[in-house]
Amino acid sequence: MKICFTSDEQNGLESVLSYHFGHCPYYVIVDVDGNEVKRVDSISNPMADGHNPGDLPSFMKERDVDVIITGGMGPKAQQYFADYGIKAVTGAYGKVKDVLEEYLNSKITVREEKTEVEEQRGSNESDGGDIDKLKKENIDLRRQVADLKSRLTALEKKIGN
């Protein structure tokens, strides 16, 4: 089974999951057999700067992806994935390795999310510098949350929970 994760970084399983499917800079594609990782590929998102509806689901289908896991994805993209027979899992966060383990053990936590359209409504192009600064801070905070989640998972394993 091939599982694709959206990513803010190109660090394989150590990458932090991106919250935005279509505009994430990277994808981490993990080939698993049962619960065993066979291969990990980090690839650039060739359409991060723009794409037509359905382009990225088609791109994933060409790579034989079975599941896509991300922080957020609009309903149109989810429908395209469903049409291709690709399972879309949204609401995930943390490091790819931790989210992969959660998924393989049926413990992934999904949160309520805004669609991409709702997220875009809140932006104001006249504040471009501030928006860029906030985006960078957001990525840094996601990295910190991912690190904390990894540490918590390790502690839970250590104490047997």
Q: 45-102: per-residue pLDDT in tens?
A: 988 777 777 889 999 999 999 999 998 888 888 999 999 999 999 988 889 999 999 9
> 8-12, 19-23, 120-124, 142-146: which range is least confident on average?
120-124
The reported pLDDT for the residue numbered 147 is: 81
The reported pLDDT for the residue numbered 133 is: 67
Lookup: tokens for 130: 């501030």
The reported pLDDT for the residue numbered 128 is: 60
Report whether pLDDT(114) > 60: no
For the domain bounded by 2-159, which CATH number is listed?
A: 3.30.420.130
**pLDDT band of 122, cuts 50, 70, 90:** very low
Domain boundaries, the chain: 2-159
Q: Any bridge partners for residue 41, and if so which?
A: 29
The SS3 assignment for 90 reads coil
Lookup: tokens for 146: 């991912």
Residues 6+ apart with CB under 8 A from 43: 26, 27, 29
The reported pLDDT for the residue numbered 112 is: 39
Nearest alpha carbon to residue 109 among 98, 117, 120: 98
The reported pLDDT for the residue numbered 48 is: 78
- Strand pairing of 26-33 and 36-44? antiparallel
